[in-house]
Structure 1
Amino acid sequence: MQLATKEPEHRIDARGNAAREVIGVSFRLNNPRQRLPYLVERKANPVFQFAEALWYLAGRRDLEMIGYYAPSMRSYSADGIHLGGSAYGHTLFGPAHKGRSRFDLVTELLLNEPDSKRGYLPVFSPAELADRSNPDVACLAGLHLLPRDGHLNMVCNMRANDLDCGLLSDVFSFTMIQEYAAIQLGLRLGTYTHTIGSAHVNDHNAERVRRVLDEAASGPVVNFPFPAMPLDTAPTTIEHLLVHEEALRTNELRYTAQHIQTRLGLHPYWQQVVLLFELYRQIQHDQVDTVDPALLHALDPGLRWLMTRKWPACAAALDGGAL
């Protein structure tokens, strides 16, 4: 990211977005489960991160769900109802061949041929280039699943990545997909490698990126261990979660921390996600100045840290001494 802000190889201006760019960037995460940065300046939003990952895992492309968590994504929809290329989950988990998804076909291949090099999940389609006015062309070229020595490694190939706005969300969602795939294959989580053709930072975001880099460099960096996804996670798990997500997003229900922990039948890992969605419901629908402190108290420490730095209503609950 520093190269794209301080030492860019190129200055570009694609579709009116002046940016600084480096070509051919790659990095590897040896522990992809640690998928969130704990930086005050970055203000990572775990509510959106989990919502987008679940939207992908469910194979959805509707704007109704994801637009609630990221209203700016509405500008990328050609019809105001669906998203196109950026709906990666629809490409990966939606029907592709005789009613089966690309994900299903690849996991079946790898169950039968563990050392295969063919476990590639393509996303970017040449057909996306046919319409030059298309506002939503996939940035993700594809995901390559590589089981080796009892671990599932994954290589992500991006045609382009906005290092300020897109990289954090992409790494979070793609490593969630990797961990989900590892569970379906009965493997441990391996390495995650992220490769980018055009790594860029828009000029109007460069100062914010500089502040994030300065904070990361000054240390010591706060860190919290991210828990492992439950080994019984399956498509039905995602479906169950999204029932509660929709009820909270549409403000049909409201949950207490005790209700989430004792009555929804969810593993504690996934209870954390519903806690986040209820906190967001209070912020969006109830428009409270202070959220229910019991919900914050029930969050894992890392998620609590992020929420209190992202949302003033969460910080106010913490500052009130209720925790």
Structure 2
Amino acid sequence: MLTAPTFPNIQDAYVALLQLATKEPEHQIDARGNAAREVIGVSFRLPDPRQRLPYLEERKANPVFQFAEALWYLAGRRDLEMIGYYAPSMGASSADGIHLGGSAYGYALFTPYDGRLSAFDQVVELLQNEPDSKRGYLQVFSADELLDRHNPDVACLAGLHLLPREGRLHMVCNMRANDLDCGLLSDVFSFTMIQEYAAIRLGLRLGSYTHTIGSAHVNNRNAERVRRVLAEATDRTSAVFTSPAMPEDTTASTIGRLMDHEEALRRNERQYSALHIQNRLGLHPYWQQVVMLFELYRQLQHDGGDVVDPALLYALDPGLRWLMIRKWPACAAAAAGGAL
């Protein structure tokens, strides 16, 4: 029997799925005014889920948003204020302009309810007592979301299945639908971060990540960008960077501290130099990188948007620096001026 196709990193999986949906679509659909090409029931596997960032010139992935969304999930949040700062377009999915609904996956996973443990903590407790259990499923999508036909924010994520096997934590993600060009990359980034956090909580090594999709589609409005991405993937050898491991002492308290720094920077209440982040915040170097990204984004949003601190770019891991330089002209200018 065949398992899901395996790729060394999310970039290769992303390109392969774009090629499949654009060149061999099974259906042409037009759900809620979004014309798209679609394939049904696809999946892939990443043996190393830490390889969760793509390095493509045409795609210009945004590592600031990727980490912000992952932490928003891990903190169990559903507020638009925080995540909307990094992705203003998400405001269109909020029914009340204050909260997000189905797409606030972390709220479903990490928020305690009715005086009980959160769904995530319940599953962690289960797996600590039943190492080979098949019951470690974290449900997100609920049929109740469909009761309101005008609900602007129905969860695309059906659930996450945690499977500890032989000292490693594997995870299977079930998506009811995935926009392959826009949503896939951020989803895989965040879900593999949740997987790695769960592995730490369980004292296990990180296992494989399998991503399954009911409706895998590419919206027609994004066809030109997809064409450019596929042309780049065909004509050029892309950059490859290795992603580090999440610190083994990461806890919910760590996430809370990071969110405190994020909020202060988002509200422009603090300004950090690279040396301050490295020497004064008491964070592991892995998490220092995330605060550096948030500080660079603060400079882009609050300091005019045309100048950033080259020292911060220099202090970033090479892969994050590569992405920032290609995402924002101010970062490219700072890199050129600082001869990075």
Q: Aligned letter for 1:94?
A: T
Amino acid at match of 1:239: G
Moved over 6 A (4+): none
Paired position in structure 1 for 2:249: 232
Q: Deviations over 1:214-246 (max 9, x none)?
A: 222333221110000000000000000010000
2:224 equivalent to 1:202: no
Percent identity of equivalent pairs: 80
Report matched runs for 1:219-258 at 5 Å. 219-258=236-275
2:160 alignment counterpart: 143
Distance in 1 between residues matched to 2:233 and 2:339, nearest whole Å: 30
Structure 1 residue 274 corresponds to structure 2 residue 291: yes
CA distance in 2, matches of 1:315, 1:290: 10
Which one of the candidate residues 79, 86, 94 is aligned to 1:62? Answer: 79
Report if aligned partners of 2:299, 2:308 keep a CA contact under 8 Å in 1.
yes
1:166 and 2:178 are equivalent in the alignment: no
Tell me if the contact between 1:227 and 1:269 (Cα under 8 Å) persists in the aligned partners. Answer: yes
Supply the distance in 2 between the matched residues of 1:159 and 1:289 (Cα, whole angstroms).
40
Structure 2 counterpart of 1:18? 35
User: C-alpha separation between the residues in 1 aligned to 2:305 and 2:201?
Assistant: 40
Quick one: distance in 1 between partners of 2:249 and 2:231? Answer: 40
- The amino acid of 2:40's aligned partner reads I
Is 1:321 matched with 2:328?
no
1:211 Cα offset (Å)? 1.4
Deviations 1:26-52 (A, max 9, x none): 000011001001110110000000000
* In structure 2, C-alpha distance between the alignment counterparts of 1:230 and 1:2, rounded to whole Å: 36
Structure 1 position 218 matched with structure 2 position 247:
no
Indicate conservation of the 8 Å contact 1:293/1:322, yes or no. Answer: no
For 1:291, the equivalent position in structure 2 comes to 308
Give 2:240's aligned amino acid: N
Shift of 1:321: 3.2
Identify unmatched segments of 5+ residues in structure 2.
Answer: 1-17
Aligned to 2:280, which of 230, 254, 263?
Answer: 263
Cα drift, residue 96 of structure 1:
3.4
Question: 1: CA distance between counterparts of 2:127 and 2:37?
Answer: 39
Q: Output one character per residue of 1:66-115: Cα deviation in whole Å (capped at 9) or x when no partner.
A: 00000000000000000000000000001135331000000000000000
Whichever residue aligns with residue 122 of structure 2, its letter is: L
Cα RMSD after superposing both structures: 0.9
1:152 to 145, 150, 169: 169
1:199-218 deviation line (CA, Å, top 9, x unaligned): 00100101211211222233
Residue-pair matches, total: 323
Report the counterpart of residue 91 of structure 2 in structure 1. Answer: 74
Q: Please name the residue that 1:112 is paired with.
A: 129
Residue identity opposite 2:338 in structure 1: G
Q: Report whether the alignment pairs 1:98 with 2:115.
A: yes
> How far apart in 1 are the matches of 2:236 and 2:199?
33
Cα deviation per residue 1:250-296 (whole Å; 9 max; x = unaligned)? 00111111100000010000000000000000001112422100000
Question: Matches of 1:59 and 1:283 in 2, distance apart?
Answer: 27
Give the partner amino acid of 1:295. Answer: L
Partner of 1:186 in structure 2?
A: 203
Contact 1:61 1:87 in 2 (8 A): yes
In structure 1, runs of 5+ residues without a counterpart are none
Cα distance in 2, alignment partners of residues 97 and 108 from structure 1: 18
What is the TM-score normalised by the length of structure 1? 0.99
| One-letter amino acid of the structure 2 residue matched with residue 23 of structure 1 | I
Q: Which residue of 2 aligns with 1:37?
A: 54
Larger mean CA deviation between 64-73 and 215-224 belongs to 215-224
When normalised by structure 2's length, the TM-score is: 0.94
Deviations 1:103-133 (A, max 9, x none): 0000000000000000000000110010010
Q: Is the 8 A contact 1:34 1:226 kept in 2?
A: yes
Which secondary structure does the structure 2 equivalent of 1:220 belong to? coil
